[in-house]
Structure 1
Amino acid sequence: MLTLDQIRAFVAVAEELHFGRAADRLRMTQPPLSRHIQKLERVVGVTLLERDNRRVVLTDAGRAFLDDARRMLTLVDTAGDRARRIASGAAGTVRLGFTAVSAISMLGALLRRLSEQLPEIDVILHERVTAGQVDGLLRGELDVGLARPPFDIATLDSRVVFREPLCAVVPLGHPLAGLGRPLVPDDFDGLPVISYNPVQSRYFHELTVHFLTNAHPRIEQQVHQILTAVLLVAAGRGVALAPASARSLGIDGVTFCELARGGGDPLESEENATGEPVELHVIWDRGSTNPALRRVLDLLPDLEAPPPSLMMP
């Protein structure tokens, strides 16, 4: 069987081309060094070194094997350090779930921060709606997610990382766009509204229902994704409510209108002092043993405000 002592012995002789100097370099005598080379050649099955009393010469096979032997020793020398870095969270892999709109408001800033401060952590991205992220965390398919509440607090931890306003999305030229003031629930009375699926998109479903509680709109369709809602508005199928960051989806044919603030929102966290009703959370399995996850989470508190390029007018 190939051993590290044999590999080190071969590299020393191949680089020195002299058994005496190689033995001195390895701080051993020549007889055991010669035995290491002989055993290595028997294991490999070819002659690696031609030697006589006057010289040592690498065979063609020996020159090829030397390259591989050096790589093996480098891997062995760095393996321990890499293992220690992974154990400390400085290196490793994090599987990150995100939604399309969370990618607009947060993902770019997070990935830039990770690239700058934790370059040895590989981030594998998975686009999933919140329910899919929760399922992925519970199944061990994801390490962390950027998602919307509520969550099962029995198994998952979460932290608010971004807050923003809820807006109305209306077709270009729609009468609501010309009112020149924040919209109130009564403005939607009798209008066709694109809402959200109460199971797959529970968070935005409940935000929409809460804002329109005292209005009497016509719910035309229920969709799973904010992008779909905005596209339907652009197609003239109704109006919708969406987070302000959805403006950056760049959908033509729609206008975003400010909504009037009024009362508290039951979906806001108790610590929400900004009054912005739409929250984005980072979520993770409380029982996770991935050290890299902790290092990623440590970067998130600085990202509570969006980068200047994402601030909405």
Structure 2
Amino acid sequence: MELRHLRYFIAVAEEGSLLHAAERRLHTSQPSLSRQIRDLELELGVKLLERKARGIELTAAGRVFLDHARLALMQIEVACEAARNTERPHKPGFGLGFLPGQEVIWLAEALRILREEASDVDVTITTKSSPELANALMQGEIDIALLRREKRTAGLDFKLLVKEPLVAILPSRHRLARHKTIRPEDICREDFISTARAAPVLKTVIEEYAAKIGIKLKQIYDAETLSGGMSLVASTGGFTLLPSYVQNALIPSVVARPLYGEVPTIDLVMGYNKSNTSPLLKKFLLRADELAAHGPRLHGIRSAQSKA
């Protein structure tokens, strides 16, 4: 078994498609990728993937193997980086990851805490989708990420920072945009823009909300990014549901409106790798409550420590 077999399998599992994994992630042909996966299954003696009408699904063995494959690659990457660091002048480094737009709320306070703990720390900032941030944590590429509580995050732990209410994003000229709040019975008549590709946890929250209040959303598009979702809202006249923090990055042709009644929320968590032995990470985690209290207070969001 070679490392490329693990990388290929992980790419297919995360993309849910041999074609997408081959074209978007691995830059190889689908037939070649299929052969690599078959070779891996033959060597293991178990079937890892099943082809379905809508793409690829993991078998029970595949789900177990995926977590171990991610850990194996992460450990190799950490070992390689440790070897490289022996040739570099020592300077403490720390990697922070944010969802696009969240750094506006949280970065200043995070930097203040880091500078107080280590004034000479070399901080790097990464902005990615939540699944990508989770992967970066597992690979040891960053130390802390503000993300969603993703599934299948082997070796990661999370601390709740805030429960973010969802808001309706509408075209600024939409008939519902003049309302102060949006009723569920009104939005169920409108075309819905999903952002499930970029935010699977958000998709689950929205589905549970719709089921709870007894409405069915008429999905017409699935955007690849949250900003792409807003652009589709503007161009199609539909709507989407997004966490309230996106109000910091609205495009001019859309508006945000709160939902009427019981409002769904999505958890924003601080994620880190439990195998990360960085002394600065331990100090930062001890001051997580400061971060949780500061950002929401400035932006009118209920913090994890607030009462419901």
Percent identity, aligned pairs only, is 23
Please state if 1:310 is matched with 2:308: no
One-letter code aligned to 1:206 = T
Residue 179 to residue 107, structure 1, CA distance change in 2 (3 Å): same
5+ residue gaps, structure 1:
1-86, 266-276
Superposition TM-score, scaled by structure 1 size: 0.60
Aligned to 2:185: 186
Deviation at 1:94, TM superposition (A): 1.2
Matched residue of 1:229: which SS? helix
Aligned to 1:285: 273
Cα deviation, 1:256-284, whole Å, max 9, x if unaligned, reads 11113438x6xxxxxxxxxxx12211111
Please state if 1:149 is matched with 2:149: yes
Aligned to 1:240: 240
**Larger Rg, first or second structure (1 or 2):** 1
Residue 192 to residue 309, structure 1, CA distance change in 2 (3 Å): same
One-letter code aligned to 2:187 = F
One-letter code aligned to 1:311 = G
Paired with 2:258 and 2:221, the residues of 1 have a C-alpha distance of 22
- 251-260 or 95-104, which deviates more: 95-104
Paired with 2:135 and 2:93, the residues of 1 have a C-alpha distance of 19
Aligned to 1:134: 134
Paired with 1:197 and 1:230, the residues of 2 have a C-alpha distance of 13
Deviation at 1:297, TM superposition (A): 1.8
Paired with 1:151 and 1:102, the residues of 2 have a C-alpha distance of 21
Matched residue of 1:119: which SS? coil
Deviation at 1:177, TM superposition (A): 2.1
Matched residue of 2:276: which SS? coil
Please state if 1:171 is matched with 2:160: no
Aligned to 2:251: 251
Paired with 2:156 and 2:297, the residues of 1 have a C-alpha distance of 31
Q: How does 1:1-313 map to 2 (within 5 A)?
A: 92-152=92-152, 155-180=155-180, 182-197=181-196, 200-213=198-211, 214-262=214-262, 277-305=265-293, 306=295, 309-311=298-300
Deviation at 1:308, TM superposition (A): 5.3
5+ residue gaps, structure 2:
1-89, 302-308
Paired with 2:114 and 2:235, the residues of 1 have a C-alpha distance of 38
Deviation at 1:192, TM superposition (A): 1.0
Residue 105 to residue 206, structure 1, CA distance change in 2 (3 Å): farther
Deviation at 1:211, TM superposition (A): 2.6
